[in-house]
Amino acid sequence: MLLATWNVNSIKARLENVLSWLKEAGPDVVLLQELKCVDEAFPREPIEDLGYNIAVHGQKTYNGVAILSKFPLEDVATGLPGAERQPEDDHARYIEAVTGGVRVASIYLPNGNPVPGPKFDYKLGWMDRLVAHAGDLLALEERTVLAGDYNVCPTDADVFDPARFAGDALCQPESRARFRQILNMGYTEAWRAFHPDGPQEYSYWDYQGGAWDQNNGLRIDHLLLSPQAADCLSRCGIDRGPRAAPKASDHTPVWCELAV
DNA sequence: ATGGCTGTCCCTGACAGA
Protein backbone atom coordinates (compact mmCIF):
# COMPACT_ATOMS: atom_id res chain seq x y z
CA MET A 1 0.00 0.00 0.00
CA LEU A 2 1.30 3.38 -1.09
CA LEU A 3 0.08 6.04 1.35
CA ALA A 4 0.70 9.79 1.06
CA THR A 5 -0.06 13.06 2.85
CA TRP A 6 -0.35 16.40 1.06
CA ASN A 7 -1.40 19.88 2.16
CA VAL A 8 -2.85 21.14 -1.14
CA ASN A 9 -3.68 24.74 -0.06
CA SER A 10 -7.15 24.76 -1.66
CA ILE A 11 -8.43 21.64 -3.45
CA LYS A 12 -10.33 23.76 -5.97
CA ALA A 13 -7.31 25.88 -6.94
CA ARG A 14 -5.12 22.74 -6.97
CA LEU A 15 -7.41 20.24 -8.70
CA GLU A 16 -5.37 19.85 -11.90
CA ASN A 17 -2.12 19.50 -9.89
CA VAL A 18 -3.72 16.85 -7.67
CA LEU A 19 -5.21 14.88 -10.57
CA SER A 20 -1.86 14.89 -12.39
CA TRP A 21 -0.03 13.60 -9.34
CA LEU A 22 -2.63 10.90 -8.61
CA LYS A 23 -2.23 9.59 -12.16
CA GLU A 24 1.55 9.80 -12.09
CA ALA A 25 2.28 8.45 -8.58
CA GLY A 26 -0.74 6.15 -8.24
CA PRO A 27 -1.00 6.25 -4.43
CA ASP A 28 -3.57 3.90 -2.83
CA VAL A 29 -4.42 6.23 0.05
CA VAL A 30 -4.01 10.02 0.14
CA LEU A 31 -4.54 12.24 3.18
CA LEU A 32 -5.29 15.82 2.14
CA GLN A 33 -5.21 19.01 4.18
CA GLU A 34 -6.23 22.66 3.73
CA LEU A 35 -9.11 21.99 1.34
CA LYS A 36 -10.53 25.50 1.94
CA CYS A 37 -14.00 24.41 0.85
CA VAL A 38 -17.22 22.99 2.24
CA ASP A 39 -18.12 19.32 1.74
CA GLU A 40 -20.58 20.07 -1.09
CA ALA A 41 -17.92 22.00 -3.05
CA PHE A 42 -15.31 19.22 -2.96
CA PRO A 43 -14.63 18.10 -6.57
CA ARG A 44 -15.54 14.47 -6.02
CA GLU A 45 -16.25 13.30 -9.56
CA PRO A 46 -12.84 13.75 -11.23
CA ILE A 47 -11.15 12.06 -8.28
CA GLU A 48 -13.68 9.24 -8.11
CA ASP A 49 -13.10 8.73 -11.84
CA LEU A 50 -9.50 7.79 -10.98
CA GLY A 51 -10.78 5.02 -8.72
CA TYR A 52 -10.81 6.67 -5.31
CA ASN A 53 -13.38 6.57 -2.54
CA ILE A 54 -13.57 9.88 -0.69
CA ALA A 55 -14.32 11.03 2.86
CA VAL A 56 -14.39 14.80 3.40
CA HIS A 57 -14.49 17.02 6.47
CA GLY A 58 -14.67 20.48 4.94
CA GLN A 59 -15.08 24.07 6.07
CA LYS A 60 -15.68 27.38 4.35
CA THR A 61 -12.49 29.31 3.42
CA TYR A 62 -10.18 27.68 5.97
CA ASN A 63 -8.83 24.26 6.97
CA GLY A 64 -10.60 21.14 5.72
CA VAL A 65 -9.26 17.57 5.51
CA ALA A 66 -10.04 14.51 3.38
CA ILE A 67 -9.14 10.88 2.82
CA LEU A 68 -8.89 9.37 -0.66
CA SER A 69 -8.59 5.61 -0.94
CA LYS A 70 -8.74 2.92 -3.58
CA PHE A 71 -10.09 0.65 -0.83
CA PRO A 72 -13.49 1.00 0.85
CA LEU A 73 -13.62 3.57 3.67
CA GLU A 74 -15.08 2.33 6.94
CA ASP A 75 -15.60 3.77 10.43
CA VAL A 76 -15.20 7.35 9.20
CA ALA A 77 -14.95 9.82 12.08
CA THR A 78 -14.51 13.59 11.92
CA GLY A 79 -13.13 15.89 14.58
CA LEU A 80 -10.66 15.10 17.32
CA PRO A 81 -12.20 13.76 20.54
CA GLY A 82 -12.28 16.19 23.45
CA ALA A 83 -13.60 19.22 21.57
CA GLU A 84 -15.71 20.03 24.63
CA ARG A 85 -12.45 20.94 26.35
CA GLN A 86 -11.78 23.50 23.59
CA PRO A 87 -15.12 25.17 22.87
CA GLU A 88 -13.44 27.48 20.36
CA ASP A 89 -12.55 24.43 18.26
CA ASP A 90 -14.89 24.64 15.29
CA HIS A 91 -12.04 24.02 12.82
CA ALA A 92 -12.15 21.08 10.37
CA ARG A 93 -8.71 19.64 11.12
CA TYR A 94 -9.16 15.89 11.68
CA ILE A 95 -10.70 12.95 9.83
CA GLU A 96 -10.11 9.26 10.46
CA ALA A 97 -11.13 6.05 8.72
CA VAL A 98 -10.22 2.40 8.31
CA THR A 99 -9.23 1.41 4.78
CA GLY A 100 -7.35 -1.50 3.24
CA GLY A 101 -6.56 -2.93 6.66
CA VAL A 102 -5.05 0.30 8.01
CA ARG A 103 -6.54 2.96 10.27
CA VAL A 104 -5.55 6.33 8.82
CA ALA A 105 -6.04 9.91 9.97
CA SER A 106 -5.59 13.15 8.03
CA ILE A 107 -4.33 15.83 10.41
CA TYR A 108 -4.11 19.59 9.92
CA LEU A 109 -2.56 20.86 13.11
CA PRO A 110 -3.02 24.55 13.97
CA ASN A 111 -0.14 26.81 12.96
CA GLY A 112 -0.05 28.58 16.31
CA ASN A 113 1.61 31.89 15.42
CA PRO A 114 2.16 34.35 16.91
CA VAL A 115 3.90 33.17 20.08
CA PRO A 116 2.74 33.82 22.73
CA GLY A 117 -0.97 34.30 22.22
CA PRO A 118 -4.37 32.62 21.96
CA LYS A 119 -3.47 30.91 18.67
CA PHE A 120 -0.44 29.27 20.26
CA ASP A 121 -2.56 28.22 23.25
CA TYR A 122 -5.06 26.69 20.82
CA LYS A 123 -2.25 24.77 19.10
CA LEU A 124 -0.96 23.32 22.36
CA GLY A 125 -4.45 22.39 23.55
CA TRP A 126 -5.16 20.71 20.20
CA MET A 127 -1.88 18.81 20.44
CA ASP A 128 -2.75 17.64 23.95
CA ARG A 129 -5.97 16.18 22.57
CA LEU A 130 -4.06 14.57 19.68
CA VAL A 131 -1.60 12.99 22.13
CA ALA A 132 -4.50 11.55 24.14
CA HIS A 133 -6.24 10.20 21.05
CA ALA A 134 -2.99 8.73 19.69
CA GLY A 135 -2.68 6.85 22.98
CA ASP A 136 -6.22 5.53 22.73
CA LEU A 137 -5.56 4.33 19.17
CA LEU A 138 -2.31 2.68 20.24
CA ALA A 139 -4.28 0.51 22.67
CA LEU A 140 -6.22 -0.94 19.73
CA GLU A 141 -2.96 -2.58 18.54
CA GLU A 142 -3.88 -1.96 14.90
CA ARG A 143 -1.92 -0.77 11.91
CA THR A 144 -2.43 2.99 12.29
CA VAL A 145 -0.99 5.93 10.34
CA LEU A 146 -1.52 9.44 11.73
CA ALA A 147 -0.34 11.70 8.93
CA GLY A 148 -0.64 15.27 7.85
CA ASP A 149 0.55 18.83 8.22
CA TYR A 150 1.73 18.78 11.84
CA ASN A 151 3.01 22.36 11.67
CA VAL A 152 5.94 21.18 13.80
CA CYS A 153 9.60 21.00 12.82
CA PRO A 154 10.65 18.12 15.10
CA THR A 155 14.26 19.33 15.39
CA ASP A 156 16.46 22.13 14.07
CA ALA A 157 17.65 19.69 11.39
CA ASP A 158 14.20 20.13 9.84
CA VAL A 159 14.62 23.91 9.39
CA PHE A 160 16.71 25.64 6.72
CA ASP A 161 17.59 28.49 9.10
CA PRO A 162 16.94 27.52 12.74
CA ALA A 163 17.96 30.93 14.07
CA ARG A 164 15.33 32.65 11.95
CA PHE A 165 12.64 30.30 13.26
CA ALA A 166 13.69 30.23 16.91
CA GLY A 167 10.63 32.26 17.93
CA ASP A 168 8.20 30.54 15.56
CA ALA A 169 5.34 28.37 16.79
CA LEU A 170 6.58 25.53 14.55
CA CYS A 171 9.83 25.27 16.50
CA GLN A 172 8.83 26.00 20.10
CA PRO A 173 9.94 23.52 22.78
CA GLU A 174 6.29 23.11 23.84
CA SER A 175 5.27 22.12 20.27
CA ARG A 176 8.22 19.76 19.88
CA ALA A 177 7.66 18.16 23.28
CA ARG A 178 4.08 17.23 22.38
CA PHE A 179 5.22 15.82 19.02
CA ARG A 180 7.85 13.77 20.88
CA GLN A 181 5.20 12.51 23.30
CA ILE A 182 3.54 10.71 20.38
CA LEU A 183 6.87 9.21 19.32
CA ASN A 184 7.76 8.24 22.87
CA MET A 185 4.52 6.30 23.36
CA GLY A 186 5.52 4.08 20.43
CA TYR A 187 4.82 5.75 17.08
CA THR A 188 7.50 5.82 14.37
CA GLU A 189 8.03 8.92 12.21
CA ALA A 190 8.47 7.27 8.83
CA TRP A 191 10.83 9.66 7.04
CA ARG A 192 13.18 10.12 9.97
CA ALA A 193 13.29 6.34 10.49
CA PHE A 194 15.00 6.05 7.12
CA HIS A 195 17.21 9.15 7.61
CA PRO A 196 18.31 9.18 11.27
CA ASP A 197 21.27 11.47 10.59
CA GLY A 198 19.96 13.62 7.76
CA PRO A 199 20.19 14.65 4.97
CA GLN A 200 18.15 17.81 5.36
CA GLU A 201 15.00 17.47 3.33
CA TYR A 202 11.86 19.56 3.41
CA SER A 203 8.14 19.26 2.69
CA TYR A 204 7.20 22.97 2.66
CA TRP A 205 8.67 26.05 0.96
CA ASP A 206 7.21 29.53 1.41
CA TYR A 207 5.83 31.25 -1.68
CA GLN A 208 7.83 34.35 -0.79
CA GLY A 209 11.40 35.35 -1.29
CA GLY A 210 12.40 32.62 -3.72
CA ALA A 211 12.27 30.01 -0.96
CA TRP A 212 11.79 27.12 -3.38
CA ASP A 213 14.63 28.18 -5.69
CA GLN A 214 16.98 28.50 -2.72
CA ASN A 215 15.67 25.34 -1.00
CA ASN A 216 14.73 27.41 2.06
CA GLY A 217 12.28 24.85 3.40
CA LEU A 218 10.79 23.25 6.48
CA ARG A 219 9.89 19.62 7.19
CA ILE A 220 6.48 19.83 8.82
CA ASP A 221 4.46 17.11 7.05
CA HIS A 222 4.84 13.78 8.79
CA LEU A 223 3.65 10.16 8.77
CA LEU A 224 3.45 8.64 12.27
CA LEU A 225 3.06 4.85 12.38
CA SER A 226 1.87 2.58 15.17
CA PRO A 227 4.18 -0.39 15.87
CA GLN A 228 1.90 -2.67 13.83
CA ALA A 229 2.17 -0.28 10.86
CA ALA A 230 5.88 0.35 11.35
CA ASP A 231 6.48 -3.42 11.13
CA CYS A 232 5.19 -3.21 7.53
CA LEU A 233 7.09 -0.04 6.55
CA SER A 234 9.20 -0.72 3.46
CA ARG A 235 9.90 2.71 1.91
CA CYS A 236 9.38 6.42 2.53
CA GLY A 237 10.06 9.55 0.53
CA ILE A 238 9.28 13.17 -0.20
CA ASP A 239 8.15 13.83 -3.78
CA ARG A 240 9.47 17.27 -4.70
CA GLY A 241 7.93 17.12 -8.17
CA PRO A 242 4.56 18.74 -7.40
CA ARG A 243 6.23 21.72 -5.68
CA ALA A 244 8.07 22.56 -8.92
CA ALA A 245 4.90 22.54 -11.03
CA PRO A 246 3.05 25.67 -12.13
CA LYS A 247 0.46 26.88 -9.61
CA ALA A 248 1.94 24.60 -6.95
CA SER A 249 0.86 24.22 -3.35
CA ASP A 250 3.51 25.46 -0.92
CA HIS A 251 3.65 21.86 0.44
CA THR A 252 4.68 18.72 -1.46
CA PRO A 253 3.56 15.10 -0.89
CA VAL A 254 5.28 12.87 1.66
CA TRP A 255 4.62 9.17 1.13
CA CYS A 256 5.39 5.75 2.57
CA GLU A 257 4.89 2.18 1.44
CA LEU A 258 3.44 -0.46 3.74
CA ALA A 259 3.85 -4.12 2.81
CA VAL A 260 0.21 -5.04 3.42
C1' DA B 1 13.32 48.41 4.27
C1' DT B 2 8.75 44.55 8.79
C1' DG B 3 7.56 43.46 2.74
C1' DG B 4 8.30 40.11 0.00
C1' DC B 5 3.38 35.28 -2.23
C1' DT B 6 -1.10 32.85 -2.59
C1' DG B 7 -6.05 31.77 -1.76
C1' DT B 8 -10.59 33.11 -0.09
C1' DC B 9 -14.74 35.92 0.42
C1' DC B 10 -16.92 39.46 -1.30
C1' DC B 11 -16.31 45.40 3.14
C1' DT B 12 -11.28 43.65 -4.02
C1' DG B 13 -8.72 44.85 1.43
C1' DA B 14 -8.25 41.93 5.37
C1' DC B 15 -7.08 37.70 7.09
C1' DA B 16 -4.58 33.36 7.33
C1' DG B 17 -0.97 30.74 6.20
C1' DA B 18 4.13 29.12 8.31
Residues of chain A with pLDDT under 50: none
Residues with CB under 7 A from strand B: A 7, 9-10, 12-14, 34, 36-37, 60-62, 110-111, 113, 119, 149, 151, 170, 204, 206-209, 218, 220, 247, 250-251
Report the pLDDT value the prediction gives residue A199, as an integer from 0 to 100: 82
CA of A46 to C1' of B17 (A): 27
Closest CA-bearing residue to C1' of B7 = A10
Nucleotide nearest to A220 (CA to C1'): B18
Separation of A62 CA and B10 C1' (Å): 15
pLDDT for A83 equals 77
d(CA A7, CA A35): 8
Task: Give φ, ψ of A192 to 5 degrees.
Answer: -65, -30
pLDDT on residue A88: 72
Q: What per-residue confidence (pLDDT) applies to A43?
A: 97
Chain B nucleotides covered by protein, CB below 7 Å: 4-9, 16-18
- pTM recorded for the entire structure: 0.97
